[in-house]
Amino acid sequence: MSRVAAIDCGTNSIRLLIADASASGAPGPLTDVVREMRVVRLGQGVDATGELAPEALERTFAAARDYARLIENHGARRVRFAATSATRDARNRQVFVDGIRDLLGVEPEVISGDEEAALSFAGASSVLPVTGEDAILVVDLGGGSTEFVLGDSGGVIAARSVDIGCVRLTERHLRNDPPTAAQIAAAEADVDAAINLAARTVPFDRATAVVGVAGSITTITAHALGLSEYQPERIHGASLDLVTISDACTSLLEMTRAERAALPYMHPGRVDVIGAGALVWRRILARLAEAGNGRIRGAVSSEHDILDGIALSIRDAE
């Protein structure tokens, strides 16, 4: 066994996983030692300005400073830091890269959308194995981008990253509280265009099942289940039908921010963007149901995603 530390820095949150991993090529999932998430909103304003805001950088560096202490205290031997959509889009990303290197002593990797997709599939399929003739579509709905990854027991078949996410669409369209019909229609047009783009690369009609990962989808699942608090053990592996998911998405989209903030499973950092996440997930599932000719009747939620994929990639590189 080796102890590794994986950091996933996205548009809305930065997450840490310290885990014990078996040797490369050995079966079995990771064993969690520490799993943490901080909402730092690194992508604040990036869609409009093309730059990382100074206050967003400072929030992210503060979290990275805390993560560095945890990594040292728990004796993780190897560290990989992966940054995704917001950092890919920013003109001043070198400021971010230099700051993270100074704090953690590792070079942060600004990974491509394709690699993000592959890591998401690796993380999800590590705990929800793909067997037989199944072709599973993993959807990773983030703050700035969404990844569509189709894979089977042999690995990834096709993947595409598109620039739709809960932070990006909130900032671009959903400014009212709650959003207006016109704002929702404009956001849906962006989502539909992005899905069309993804469909050029990823054959949706081959999917036999759908797995949704990342905070927006797990929070929607908590809402659909009516949980009294955020319970990862109930959310992970939860299989819900399309009507139940769509109703939960519509409910969150139509709520005010105050109503969402009062939900017992709602992370404070998701209150203002979960409506956009719900809009994206509802639209994606409607399209997948149409493409699947009746095969896609619901979706499974996974608490394991790109963060686990990053940790597995460290193990497999040894």
Which pLDDT belongs to residue 288? 95
Measure CA 234 to chain center. 18
DSSP 141: E
- Taking only the tens place, the pLDDT of each residue in 263-292 is 999 999 999 999 999 999 999 999 999 997
Amino acid at 318: E
Q: Which residue has the higher pLDDT, 153 or 297?
A: 297
pLDDT digits (tens, 9 = 90+) for 215-261: 999 999 999 999 999 999 999 999 999 999 999 999 999 999 999 99
pLDDT in tens, 82-118: 998 678 878 999 999 999 999 999 999 988 877 888 8
Residue pair 80/6 in contact (Cβ under 8 Å)? The answer is yes
pLDDT digits (tens, 9 = 90+) for 202-226: 999 999 999 999 999 999 999 999 9
Mind listing the pLDDT tens digit for each residue in 147-203?
999 998 888 899 999 999 999 999 999 999 999 999 999 999 999 999 999 999 999
Q: How confident is the model at residue 30 (pLDDT cuts 50, 70, 90)?
A: confident
3-state secondary structure 93-140: HHHHHHHHHHHHCCCCEECCHHHHHHHHHHHHHCCCCCCCCCCEEEEE
Cβ atoms 309, 118 nearer than 8 A? yes
- The proportion of the chain whose per-residue pLDDT surpasses 70, expressed as a percent, equals 95
Report the predicted TM-score, pTM, of the whole model to 2 decimal places: 0.87
